[in-house]
Amino acid sequence: MAEKLIIDYSSSGRKGYSLPPLDVPDINIEDNLESKYVRKDLNFPEVSEVDVVRHYTALSELNYGVDSGIYPLGSCTMKYNPKRNEDIARIEKLTQIHPYQSDDDVQGSLQILHELKTDLAEISGMDEMTLQPASGAHGEFTGLLIIRKYFEDKGIEKTKVIVPDSAHGTNPASAVMAGFDIVEIDSNEQGMVDLEKLKEAVDDDVAALMLTNPNTLGIFEKDIKEIADIIHDVGGLLYYDGANLNAVMGYARPGDMDFDVLHLNLHKTFSTPHGGGGPGSGTVGVKEFLKPYLPRPLLVKEEDKYYWDYDRPKSIGKVHGFYGNYGVLIRAYSYIKTLGYKGLKKTTENAVLNANYMKAKLKEDFVLPYEENSLHEFVLSGIKQKEKGVSTLNIAKRLLDYGQYAPTIYFPLVVKEAMMIEPTETENIETLNKFIDTLKIISKEIEDNPEIVKNAPHNTSVRKLDEAKAAREPDLKW
């Protein structure tokens, strides 16, 4: 099952590429270039085309994708990636364009981008969007820089960003990158923002509160308006982490919840493929008053002409070398145009239905720490199983043995032995039942034969890997 490294296929003199012969008069490079600048050797593989194809095909077989089955990673929204979007993102008239072509050359692409940002603004209830950020975290950073710049511009000094303890790690990390200090506040017993604690934490130094709604427990912060007031009352702004937008499309809009800035993860809600960890897109939306601070250039439409506006004196500046992850944006556009407003709403409904169905079925077997209504995802705790000596990590690995991917584990941090499950709307009742049944089987195994779970996985191409050794004795290249 193991596949050796590509370098181990190397055989001196083998070639996997072909280039046209040089058609200009040949020159001796060292006549031009001082020899100290001429590379002496490069220890790269020498392999044939067949070698490359077989090697990476073999590696692919050691992976699991959405087309392999359910991928219930909570917070990750691993929905089906439509094949048509892949085709569209490969239309040569869309891909074979250079970022420094004039705007006139690429009106088609600009139209697509403009329609996309208009739709995203409408879906999220914001007034203007930038498409530049290339990931969710990049979007957070951009959003927080906008907040920072806004206060700077107004001459107000603000140093803190409040983050709930259930927040994703990127939230505090982004805030720190944007130069803020973090104030973490505990959730209340229902897993929501504790209003009293929030009030205590809030003061004039607070630039922003970062929130995702529904939060990482899948629970809608019902006091959102009051929360917004608390922040706005001290002159702070509300930042929305859009990772969970799949829970509310067509039902509620962050903009209407009084959020001032947000990012959307197009690689979650809008079905663009994760690529094994990227590329993504973290488009950022703002309310009108923050528009001047958006990264430059901003895409503008004027009388049926589209152009990039660089003349934005209050802008935070660029956050990306060009315009963002264009290829991802094209896919998201294709997705929204396919679904339309009805499909978007139906998507949310079924994402929520699927999650609630699973929760109803699984709460007998696992502890459900927060009974609240949850929307598109929910968090179980493995503490009952832990008492038998079986950790959530063990359960996750055992799921792999049954040919299914595991949920997000040990996140959010507020739940012990957390298993965060998000099925998405593209799963159907059979795949949900299969996953539910597998967890029930494992739960039974923990009663009857905990060792088999503790020593999982057994059927994967490698068994449990030694992460400690990896960190202790780093082996990071061949």
Partner 1 sequence: MDYVSNTEQERQQMLKEIGVEAIEDIFDSIPDEVKLNRELDVSEGMSELELKRHINKIADTNISLENYTSFLGGGAYDHYVPSIIDHLISRQEFYTAYTPYQAELSQGTLQVVYEYQSMISELTGMDVANASLLDGSSATAEAILMASRISRNKKVLISSALHPSYREVAKTYGKPKNLDFVEISIEDGVTNLEELEDNLDNDVAAIVVQYPNFYGSIENMEKIKQLKEEYKKVLLIVVANPIALGLLTPPKEFGADIVTGEGQSLGNTINYGGPYLGYLACINDRKFIRQIPGRIAGATVDVDGNRGYVLTLQTREQHIRRERATSNMCTNEALNAAISTIYMATMGKKGMKEVAEQSYKKAHYLADKIDELEDFEVVNTDNFFHEFWVKTKLPVKKVLSSLKEEKILGGIDISRFEEEEGILISVTEKRTKEELDNLVRLLEAM
Q: Which residues bind ligand PLP (CB under 6 A)?
A: 75-76, 135-137, 168, 170, 212, 216, 241, 243, 265, 280, 282
Query: Of 76-105, which residues contact partner 1 (CB under 8 A)?
Result: 76, 78-84, 86-88, 90-101, 105
| Cβ proximity of 236 and 209 under 8 Å | yes
Q: How does DSSP classify residue 328?
A: H
Query: Of 437-456, which residues contact partner 1 (CB under 8 A)?
Result: 455
Assess 155 for contact with partner 1 (CB under 8 A): no
CA distance 157 to 143: 17
CB of 299 to ligand PLP, least distance (A): 21
* Closest residue by beta carbon to ligand PLP: 136
Q: Which does 69 bind (CB under 5 to 8 A by kind): a second copy, partner 1, ligand PLP, none?
A: a second copy
Q: How far is CA 308 from the centre of its chain?
A: 26
CA distance 272 to 310: 28
Q: How far is CA 444 from CA 128, 395, 450, in A?
A: 52, 11, 9
State whether residue 333 is helix, strand or coil: helix
Return the number of the residue (56 or 289) whose C-beta is nearest partner 1.
56
Among 103, 235, 301, 357, binds partner 1 (CB under 8 A): 357
State whether residue 434 is helix, strand or coil: helix
Per-residue HEC secondary structure of 204-239 comes to CCEEEEEECCCCCCCECCCCHHHHHHHHHHCCCEEE
Query: Of 7-26, which residues contact a second copy (CB under 8 A)?
Result: 9, 11, 14
Which amino acid, one-letter code, is at 165?
D
Assess 54 for contact with a second copy (CB under 8 A): yes
Largest Cα–Cα separation, the chain: 78
Assess 201 for contact with partner 1 (CB under 8 A): no
CA distance 424 to 443: 23
Return the number of the residue (449 or 459) whose C-beta is nearest a second copy.
459
Assess 101 for contact with a second copy (CB under 8 A): no
CA distance 276 to 293: 33
User: By rule CB under 8 A, what count of residues binds a second copy?
Assistant: 22
Among 312, 320, 384, 440, binds partner 1 (CB under 8 A): 320
State whether residue 163 is helix, strand or coil: strand
* Contacts of residue 90, Cβ cutoff 8 Å, sequence gap at least 6: none
Query: Of 392-411, which residues contact partner 1 (CB under 8 A)?
Result: 396-397, 400, 405-406, 408, 411
Among 83, 342, 472, 477, binds a second copy (CB under 8 A): 83
CA distance 433 to 352: 16
Return the number of the residue (119 or 377) whose C-beta is nearest ligand PLP.
377
Assess 95 for contact with a second copy (CB under 8 A): no
Stretch of 76-84, 190-198, 273-281, 289-297 lying at the interface with a second copy (CB under 8 A): 76-84
What is the x/- site pattern for a second copy, positions 373-412, by CB under 8 A? ----------------------------------------
C-alpha angle 177-132-144 in degrees, rounded to nearest 5: 30
CB of 414 to ligand PLP, least distance (A): 13
Neighbours of 239 (CB within 10 A): 30
What is the x/- site pattern for partner 1, positions 113-132, by CB under 8 A? ------x--xx-x-------
CB of 334 to a second copy, least distance (A): 13
Among 5, 29, 49, 203, binds a second copy (CB under 8 A): 49
CA distance 405 to 129: 34
* Contacts of residue 362, Cβ cutoff 8 Å, sequence gap at least 6: 368, 380, 421, 436, 439, 440
Query: Which residues would be at the binding site for a second copy (CB under 8 A)?
Result: 9, 11, 14, 48-51, 53-54, 57-58, 61, 67-69, 80, 82-83, 426-428, 430
